[in-house]
Amino acid sequence: MTMIDKAGSYTLGDRMVKRMGYGAMRLSGPGIFGSPADRPAAITVLRNAVAAGVNHIDTSDFYGPHVTNQLIREALSPYPDDLVLVTKIGAVRGSDASWNPAFSPAELARAVHDNLRNLGLEILDVVNLRLMFDVHDPAEGPIEEQVTALAELQQQGLVRHIGLSNATPAQIADARRICDIVCVQNHYNLVNRQDDVLIDALSRDGIAYVPFFPLGGFAPLQSEILSSVATRLEATPMQVALAWLLQRAPNILLIPGTSSPAHLTENLAAASLELPADMVSELDAIVLAA
């Protein structure tokens, strides 16, 4: 047993993963661009995560770019048999660190091969198609050509499972008419709860929901209610925010990111934090006060 086992597991494609995972985005340099300031610390974080029982790591070759995947390969290859690496395609980084759509079938195929090469894999466990009609939020737009292209890469044996990121319910429905979708990765946390209905619908269908920015992203969550609950539980506000997500729905998989070994330990400890019903009600009300 490890500290994260109490949060349980959930099916991701044909694999069972711990619900408390790790997101590798912050291992690259400032602005998720370039190399980390402390490469040994980045390697330590990855190895500590796996040693603590994490078997679900989220990454992408456009983090860096290439940097995060190369760090994962250096730190963890040959990979543990139970480790599931989930990556994203659909964007590239400009020389100015901008995030730009890379959405043609040829660009998607190139991205899959880049991820395979930099991770040192022959097949990717899960590939999330990142939709870029709006860089920050889900926005409607056609995705049939792109999902079909990714499904063809799956048929070629390069991709095991397919997910979507930054997607609307309509786009998810469209994609599911083309191929199986095993997970959806959207922006969601205590104060960003636009996907409440979607999460419950996906849960009924056995599809994992993976919230990105679970702690608020580049502007960490701040709330007097959150701080008050944390004080009473002798926990940190971020631990409480993660614990709330774990109790929100059984299909939620967490991937909080950090480049600090100490912060990693703090995040993982949230898996064993139980929130009493009255405190959950207090936290639920934060979105109404925001």
Is the pLDDT score of 218 beyond 80? no
Q: Phi and psi dihedrals of 256, rounded to 5?
A: -60, 140
Counts for the chain of helices (H) and strands (E), in that order: 11, 11
d(CA 81, CA 95): 36
Torsion sign (Cα): 220, 16, 183, 259: positive
Cis peptide before 276 (omega within 30 of 0): no
d(CA 43, CA 264): 12
Closest to 119 measured CA to CA, from 69, 60, 155? 69
- Range with the poorest average pLDDT among 7-11, 208-212, 223-227: 223-227
Is the pLDDT score of 143 beyond 80? yes
d(CA 233, CA 212): 25
Domain ranges for the chain, please list them: 5-289
Q: Are 218 and 209 in contact (CB under 8 A)?
A: no
Q: pLDDT tens, 228-286?
A: 999 999 999 999 999 999 999 999 999 999 999 999 999 999 999 999 999 999 999 98
User: If 0-12 CB within 10 Å is exposed, 13-18 middle and 19+ buried, where does residue 204 land?
Assistant: exposed
d(CA 28, CA 63): 7
d(CA 39, CA 69): 13
d(CA 93, CA 102): 9
Amino acid 220: pLDDT:
62
**CATH code of domain 5-289:** 3.20.20.100
Active site residue 188: no
Residue 290's pLDDT band (cuts 50, 70, 90): low
Q: pLDDT tens, 68-102?
A: 999 999 999 999 999 999 999 999 999 999 999 99
pTM: 0.96
CA distances from 47 to 73, 157, 236 (A): 11, 28, 24
Torsion sign (Cα): 278, 184, 203, 5: negative
Amino acid 55: pLDDT:
98
Closest to 244 measured CA to CA, from 49, 18, 7? 7
Amino acid 223: pLDDT:
82
Is the pLDDT score of 161 beyond 90? yes
Q: Which one from 10, 22, 63, 79 is the annotated catalytic residue?
A: 63
Q: pLDDT tens, 46-76?
A: 999 999 999 999 999 999 999 999 999 999 9
Cis peptide before 78 (omega within 30 of 0): yes
Residue 121's pLDDT band (cuts 50, 70, 90): very high
d(CA 259, CA 89): 22
